[in-house]
């Protein structure tokens, strides 16, 4: 083609005078490449179970803050571990600064390895926590596992109590402790988490999944939502598809227990 010069890739010579083509290194992923799905619901709604299975089946990153705090308490630096232990024993939240430091360290580490889709297991669970997170990351979608109080109580209190070894554990004390923990977490969900769900719903990024059924049914509903999200936000080449957008239209999907704030195709 006259007038057009197609440049050759740069070449240098080895010690044996063999030509060696120099290629560009692979593009490094940054936080801008990351996508975040928040899974939120009451105590016993199945958040951790669903997230762990989705992560295994779809090669996603499960961000389990509770597990991370337990690891920090057991294996972390003495000062940070003491802060977590004190918060747990006194029944108060872990300082948000420590949580965000722990969270972002894991996210940055995984993004550098090329892992770019994260499942946030129950955190942020309040509007305040959401705005703290929004300073660092953007949550593209949220899945609300909607469950009746009776189901939440059965899964959080009754079911664990059925497997207690009466010879090793005081059954009454175990039950009462589970009741106290459940009541505290349910109250937090009914106030702070519900407000966050309404806030995110107004932004048009919430899918509400009926989570009262059998685990396999619930998982199937959630997976359909995640599959849709991954399809709609799939990158084109090295760039995210610019036509992917989120609308605020809400309707029943007819998908059996899922109400989706639709992602426009």
* CATH number, position 154: 3.40.50.300
Residue 260 lies in a domain: yes
Residue 246 lies in a domain: yes
Residue 147 lies in a domain: yes
Q: Which domain holds residue 255?
A: 29-63+116-264
Given this model, what pLDDT does residue 244 score? Answer: 34
Q: Which helix (H) or strand (E) holds 259?
A: strand 258-264
Residue 21 lies in a domain: no
pLDDT at 7 over 60: no
Predicted confidence (pLDDT) per residue in 197-246, tens digit: 999 999 999 999 999 989 999 999 999 999 999 998 775 544 443 333 33
Residue 51 lies in a domain: yes
pLDDT at 11 over 80: no
Question: What total number of domains does the chain contain?
Answer: 1
Residue 68 lies in a domain: no
Given this model, what pLDDT does residue 261 score? Answer: 44
146, 197 Cβ separation under 8 angstroms: no
Residue 207 lies in a domain: yes
Question: 201: closest CA among 144, 126, 245, 138?
Answer: 144
Q: Is the pTM of this model over 0.85?
A: no
Residue 106 lies in a domain: no
Predicted confidence (pLDDT) per residue in 96-111, tens digit: 999 999 999 999 999 9
Under 8 Å CB-to-CB from 211, ≥6 apart: which residues? Answer: 41, 45, 46, 145, 146, 147, 151, 218
């Amino acid at each position: 083609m006259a007038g057009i010069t197609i440049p050759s890739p740069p070449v240098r010579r080895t010690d044996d005078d063999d030509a060696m083509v120099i290629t560009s290194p692979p593009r490094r992923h940054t936080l801008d490449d990351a996508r975040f799905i928040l899974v939120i619901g009451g105590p016993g709604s199945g958040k951790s179970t669903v997230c762990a299975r989705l992560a295994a089946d779809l090669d996603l990153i499960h961000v389990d803050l509770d597990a991370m705090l337990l690891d920090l308490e057991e294996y972390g630096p003495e000062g940070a571990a003491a802060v977590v232990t004190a918060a747990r024993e006194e029944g108060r939240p872990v300082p948000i600064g420590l949580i965000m430091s722990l969270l972002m360290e894991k996210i940055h580490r995984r993004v550098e390895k090329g892992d770019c889709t994260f499942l946030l297991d129950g955190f942020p669970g309040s509007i305040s926590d959401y705005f703290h997170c929004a300073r660092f990351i953007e949550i593209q979608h949220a899945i609300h596992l909607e469950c009746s109080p009776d189901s939440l109580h059965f899964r959080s209190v009754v079911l664990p109590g059925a497997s207690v070894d009466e010879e090793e554990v005081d059954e009454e004390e175990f039950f009462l402790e589970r009741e106290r923990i459940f009541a505290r977490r349910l109250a937090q969900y009914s106030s702070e988490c519900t407000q966050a769900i309404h806030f995110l719903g107004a932004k048009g990024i919430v899918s509400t999944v009926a989570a009262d059924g059998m685990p396999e049914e619930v998982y199937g509903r959630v997976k359909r939502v995640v599959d849709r999200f991954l399809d709609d936000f799939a990158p084109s080449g090295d760039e995210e598809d610019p036509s992917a957008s989120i609308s605020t239209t809400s309707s029943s999907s007819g998908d059996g227990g899922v109400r989706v704030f639709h992602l426009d195709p």
